[in-house]
């Protein structure tokens, strides 16, 4: 029989009759008489109360079993309710039945009917300051000293706190002095992909090219052209071997704009040609070619001698006595000659004013230079016809000698002071009067001129040809400055600072 069934039986008067019909008093035990009397047990059938230790008028106690449940009932009717339970110090029934002294992860005592925190359970910690629980479960137990691993090893609520970590590994980072890696140390960090990794990593600055997910993930060779030493090898941008080399805009001649290879700011993986650097181009679009040592028409040929873009030399047409030819208006000068310098280029001849004549040249070299310009060395007869104007003039400017017209011995080439005998630029304003009837300049004085008028040779053993030089030079006296003077001659190998030349052509320039 269960405890509940037993309790019901007691409350029913513990009757053994299955169907009790008489009496409402649970203590009636006699039979009822005609008038409801119980017979000999009493005049009125009353049964005296048993002495159960209870106060008169209280309900009787019927034991239902041992008093081993804290429920506020004296189950064993010994007069002590819940006698095995001390509510003043029982942590499961502290101060009242069912009042358990419990909290997450915490252990408690029951003192004077009140729950008192004793300690955290193993593997738990109180980090929020609330003494009614130990809410934090230790990620690692038993705990240990903090390591760089992304775990709260010492169970204090903080992960990898710097002040508690051991010293980082040494010798793993590149730290070459004078590079962006100088002074680099390791830091405890979480990096990488999925899942990330926590550990010691080299704390390289942004200037260094490296894989942040690898402890020493520095690039074996930098890939960016940015002026920085991205791989910390001591040489910035070393894979870009063309840095600083000359480049250009892809055009030729005077249109060419030279520059230098630099890092491309728009794409740091390559270099570009920086055309902002000097020198800037002389011209930005092609112009007519001039005899100046410059590729003015930007076709890749300097001072073109032939073709539609050729130099149009300043020549004078001579047509008289059955002779028809063109002769240079000015004494020949080099392409890069200036008023103060004879230049160095021997690419071709030029006939232009305000340039020092090309002197110190042999007969053969002068002949070849005229040929490179599509011309030839003038013959003696052609030179004379241009000088006397076909009118038999003694000097190109007339028959009367004037020492101030042409640059001969008597002409002062430098104003002021003593008489200076110097070579002047052909067509110089000082020599504006030294012009022939046809407009040819400096046929008298300034520089003697080779002509293709060979008269004999030097004899054995070299048999060097001897050619006539015409017009005289800045150191020639009056007689040698005449158009007809042909006694000035020189071996073809002669080089003199006073000896130049002039070219002629059978066709128009």
Q: Which domains does the chain have, with CATH numbers?
A: 64-137 (no CATH), 309-509 (3.90.1580.10)
Interval 206-239: pLDDT, tens: 999 988 888 888 988 999 999 999 999 999 999 9
What DSSP character marks residue 430?
Answer: G
How far, in Å, are 9, 17, 357, 447, 473 from residue 499 at the CA level? Answer: 158, 169, 9, 5, 7
Dihedral of CA atoms 51, 53, 55, 58 in degrees, nearest 10, equals -80
How far, in Å, are 358, 420, 480, 499, 500 from residue 496 at the CA level? Answer: 11, 18, 17, 5, 8
Peptide bond preceding 41 in cis form (omega within 30 of 0): no
Residue scoring higher pLDDT (390 or 37): 390
pLDDT above 70 covers a percentage of the chain that reads: 89
In this prediction, residue 341 has a pLDDT band, given cuts at 50, 70 and 90, of very high
In this prediction, residue 56 has a pLDDT band, given cuts at 50, 70 and 90, of low
Which token pair is 418?
Answer: 């003593």
Distance in angstroms (rounded) separating the CA atoms of residues 249 and 484: 55
Which token pair is 439?
Answer: 């407009």
Interval 368-410: pLDDT, tens: 999 999 999 999 999 999 999 989 999 999 999 999 999 999 9
Distance in angstroms (rounded) separating the CA atoms of residues 357 and 351: 9
- Other C-beta atoms within 10 Å of 73: how many? 13
Q: Provide the whole-model pTM.
A: 0.56
Distance in angstroms (rounded) separating the CA atoms of residues 231 and 34: 124
Q: Computed from CA positions of residues 469, 475, 480, 484, in that sequence, does the dihedral angle turn out positive or negative? A: positive
Triad 87, 89, 94: Cα angle to 5°: 50
Residue scoring higher pLDDT (241 or 43): 241
The mean-pLDDT minimum among 47-56, 66-75, 215-224, 379-388 falls in 47-56
Those residues with Cβ within 8 angstroms of residue 199's Cβ, 6 or more apart along the chain or in another chain: 148, 149, 188, 189, 215
How far, in Å, are 65, 265, 291, 352, 355 from residue 341 at the CA level? Answer: 138, 44, 15, 14, 8
Interval 276-333: pLDDT, tens: 988 888 778 899 999 998 899 999 888 888 888 889 999 999 998 889 999 999 999 9
- Mean pLDDT computed over 344-361: 95
């Amino acid at each position: 029989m269960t405890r509940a069934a037993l309790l019901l039986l007691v409350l029913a008067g513990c009757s053994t009759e299955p169907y009790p019909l008489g009496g409402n008093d649970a203590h009636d035990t006699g039979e009822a008489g005609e008038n409801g009397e119980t017979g000999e047990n009493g005049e009125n059938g009353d049964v005296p109360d048993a002495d159960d230790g209870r106060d008169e008028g209280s309900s009787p106690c019927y034991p239902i079993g041992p008093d081993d449940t804290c429920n506020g009932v004296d189950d064993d009717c010994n007069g002590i309710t819940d006698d095995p339970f001390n509510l003043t110090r029982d942590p499961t029934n502290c101060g009242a039945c069912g009042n358990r002294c419990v909290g997450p992860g915490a252990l408690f005592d029951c003192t004077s009917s009140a729950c008192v925190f004793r300690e955290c359970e193993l593997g738990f910690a109180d980090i929020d300051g609330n003494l009614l629980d130990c809410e934090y479960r230790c990620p690692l137990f038993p705990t240990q000293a903090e390591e760089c691993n992304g775990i709260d090893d010492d169970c204090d609520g903080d992960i990898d706190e710097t002040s508690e970590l051991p010293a980082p590994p040494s010798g793993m980072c590149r730290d070459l002095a004078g590079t962006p890696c100088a002074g680099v140390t390791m830091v405890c960090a979480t990096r990488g992909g999925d899942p990330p990794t926590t550990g010691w990593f080299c704390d390289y600055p942004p200037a260094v090219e490296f894989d942040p997910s690898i402890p020493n993930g520095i690039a074996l060779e930098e890939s960016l052209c940015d002026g920085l030493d991205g791989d910390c090898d001591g040489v910035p941008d070393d894979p870009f071997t063309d840095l600083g080399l000359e480049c250009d805009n892809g055009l030729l001649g005077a249109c060419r704009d030279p520059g230098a290879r630099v890092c491309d700011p728009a794409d740091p993986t390559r270099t570009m040609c920086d055309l902002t650097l000097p020198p800037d181009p002389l011209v930005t679009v092609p112009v007519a070619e001039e005899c100046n040592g410059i590729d003015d028409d930007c076709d890749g040929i300097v001072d073109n001698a032939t073709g539609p873009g050729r130099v149009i030399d300043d020549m004078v047409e001579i047509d008289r006595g059955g002779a028809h030819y063109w002769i240079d208006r000015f004494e020949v000068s080099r392409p890069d000659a200036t008023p103060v310098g004879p230049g160095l280029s021997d690419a071709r001849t030029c006939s232009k004013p305000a340039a020092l004549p090309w002197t110190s040249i042999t007969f053969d070299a002068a002949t070849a230079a005229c040929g490179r310009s599509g011309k030839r060395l003038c013959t003696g007869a052609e030179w004379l016809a241009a000088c006397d104007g076909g009118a038999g003039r003694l000097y190109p400017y007339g028959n009367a000698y004037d020492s101030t017209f042409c640059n001969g011995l008597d002409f002062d080439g430098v104003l002021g002071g003593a008489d200076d005998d110097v070579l002047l630029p052909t067509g110089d304003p000082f020599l504006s009067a030294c012009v022939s009837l046809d407009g040819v300049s400096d046929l008298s004085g300034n520089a003697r001129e080779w002509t293709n008028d060979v008269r004999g040779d030097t004899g054995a053993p070299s048999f060097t040809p001897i050619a006539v030089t015409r017009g005289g030079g800045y150191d020639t006296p009056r007689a040698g400055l005449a158009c007809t003077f042909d006694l000035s001659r020189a071996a073809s190998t002669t080089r003199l600072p006073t000896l130049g030349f002039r070219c002629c052509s059978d066709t128009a320039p």
